[in-house]
Chain A
Amino acid sequence: MQNWKKGFMFVVVMVLAFSLIVGCGSGNQTQGGTTTDNNQPADNAQTTIEGSITAVGSSALQPLVEKAAQDFMAKNPKAKIQVQGGGSGTGLSQVAQGGADIGNSDIFAEEKSGIPADQLVDHKVAVVGMAAVANPDVGVDNLTTQQLVDIFTGKITNWKEVGGKDQAITLVNRPASSGTRATFKKYALGGVEEAKGIEEDSSGTVRKIIAETPGAIGYLAFSYLDGSVKPLKLDGVEPTKENVVTNDYKVWAYEHMYTKGEPQGLAKAFLEYILSDEVQKGAVVDGGYIPVTDMKVERDAQGNVTQK
C-alpha cells in the first residue's frame, strides 16, 4: 500500500514536471524568436510595445490581419499577436465574452442577435465590395436589381429571360448565417428571402463551382475575383473600387475589428498600425480590400449612408 502511494506520488510529480518542461519549452521558443528579431535595427519609436493578444473571427478578414500582425511583430519583437479564423459569429461572441482581445467581423455587431453591441467598440479597418458573379458562358453581363432579386428568389430560372443563353440558372449561396450572405441579401437583394440552392461555406469553393457549373450565379468579395468567373454589372454600375468608394455600387461591407471597451496597450497599438497609411496603402490594397480611408461615404449599422 505504501509503495502504491509512492508510485502514485511519483507519477503526479512526473506529470507536473513534464507540463512544466513543455510550458517552459514554448516560452523559450518565443524568447528565441524575439532575440533574433532584436538584432534588427528598430526603425520605430514604439520598441516598448509588448504583451500578447489574440484576434479571432472572420475568415474574409483573416489574411489581412495575419499579414499586418506579422509585420507588426517584426517591428515590435516583444509583441505577440495570435490570429485565428472561425467566422464572424465566433469573433463577435469571443470578444464579447472576453475570450479574445479583438473580434474580427464582416458585419456590425448590432446586426447579430445575442451580441451586447453596446459593450463593444467598433474599429472599421477596411471595406470589401461584393459582386454578383456568374459563369462566364451565360451571355449576360448586366442585371437590374429587379432581375437579380427575381433570380435569387427563384422567379427567373433561365438565363434567356434576362437576355442570355437558354440555360437553367443554378444558385450558389453562402450558408444562411454567413456575414457575406447577410450583406448581399441586404444591399443587393433588398432583404428578400432567397430561394434554396447550393450552399457552400468557403469563397474559394463558391468560385470553383461557379466557374465550372454551366448557368451558375453567386456572389464573391472583390478579393476573390480572378477572371475565372464573370462579375455582373448591377443596374449598369460596374463592381469596382471606384464605384464603391462613392457608394454608386452599393453592395459592400466594412471589415470590423471589435474590442471590448476602448482598446488598451498592444491591442490599441496594433489597431493604430492597421489604420496607418503603411497598412492601408499596402496590405489592404494588396489583399483586394478597399482602404477605409479612401471611402467618400460612411454607413452605419442601419444602412444609412452619409457623405464624409
Chain B
Amino acid sequence: MNSAGASALSQGCAGCEVCGLVVRLPVPAGAASCPRCGERLHGRRPASIERTWALTIAALLLYIPANLLPVMTTNTPLGAVSDTIMQGVVELWSPTSWPLAIVVFVASVTIPLGKLIALAYLLLTVQRGSVRSNEQRVRLYRLLKFIGRWSMLDVFVDTFVVALIQLQPLMWVEPGAGVIYFAAVVVVTMVAVNSFDPRLIWDLPQQEKQAHG
C-alpha cells in the first residue's frame, strides 16, 4: 500500500482512538467498531465542533460567577470576611510567598481564560477551513491538554484551608459558592478540550465533504 503523506481518512481507514489499530472503515459509512478493542470507530469524532463550542460557551458562562462569587469565608468572633479567587491571590502576595501567588494566579485566572480563547481560536480556524500554521495549532492543542488540569489547584487550596481552619468559636473557614462554579469551569474546559478532534486541523476543506462517518 502506498500512502506516504496521506491522512488515514483519505485512504478510507481510521486509527482506533483507544488502541491505535489502523482499521479500514466500511464503505457505506456506518457504525463500525474496532476489531481489537471493541470501541466505536470514527474517522473524525462525531459532532466534535458543535460539542466543543457548546462546552466552551458553557465554561465561559460559568467563569463569571466563578470569579465574582467568594470561594471561601473566614469567620471570627469579630465577623466574616469573604474572598474571591482574585482576593485570595492578592492576600498570598508577600515578600516571601509571591512566587506561589503567581502560580495560583496563572493556574486559576490565566489558564482557564487562555484555554477558552485558544479553544475558540482552534474552532474558528477549523470551521474556516484554514490550512495555515497547522503545526502551531496542533502544538497549542497539546499544550491545552497538558496544562488544563492544573487549574484544579485552587479547588485543592480551598479544600485544605477549610479542612484545617475549623477552630470554632475562635476562627473557622467555610467554602463559598464560587468554588462550585470554579470547579465546574475546570471540569467543563477539560471535557471541551477532549471533545475537540485535533485531526480536523489538518483536513483540507474539500476533504471534509467526502469524509466518512
Genuine A/B complex: no
Q: CB within 8 Å of B: which residues of A?
A: none
Q: CB within 8 Å of A: which residues of B?
A: none
